[in-house]
Amino acid sequence: MSKLDDHRRAIADILAYLASHGLAGTVLGPDHIASADSPKMRGDDFVDIVRWLENEGVIRVPGRPSLANGWFPKAQLTAVGLQILGLESPTSKGQSIETTLAEPASPETRTKIGEFIGSVLGGFFNSQK
């Protein structure tokens, strides 16, 4: 698996973790996305990914991070992050955002995240040619 694939998986895990907290700010660190399928990332790699998501407007990190450990306080999804997760208009399905976010991340959600990341990276690489 390439480094880019590792980062794509980490992005999907970060968004799924934040979605599980709804719109509340929460502490975000490499330990929160580690699992049997994706082992704990190095702190500096994790910081780079979180900063990229923040610069793309997908997440908000208003608190002061601990960059040495890769911990970010009060991280939360933005409207762009919600849209990536397919939650841009949950009320059209008769659900509130809170109800929709309370549901566990499904494989379909992770697929949507992966497709988004692929399209962003593809657009970036094509613009560099």
pLDDT digits (tens, 9 = 90+) for 66-122: 877 888 999 999 988 888 887 754 444 555 555 555 555 666 666 666 676 666 666
Max intra-chain CA distance, the chain: 44
Query: Both tokens of residue 22?
Result: 């709804």
**Residue in the structure block whose two tokens are 């992966």:** 114
Which residue, among 41, 55, 36, has the nearest Cα to 8 in the 3D structure? 41
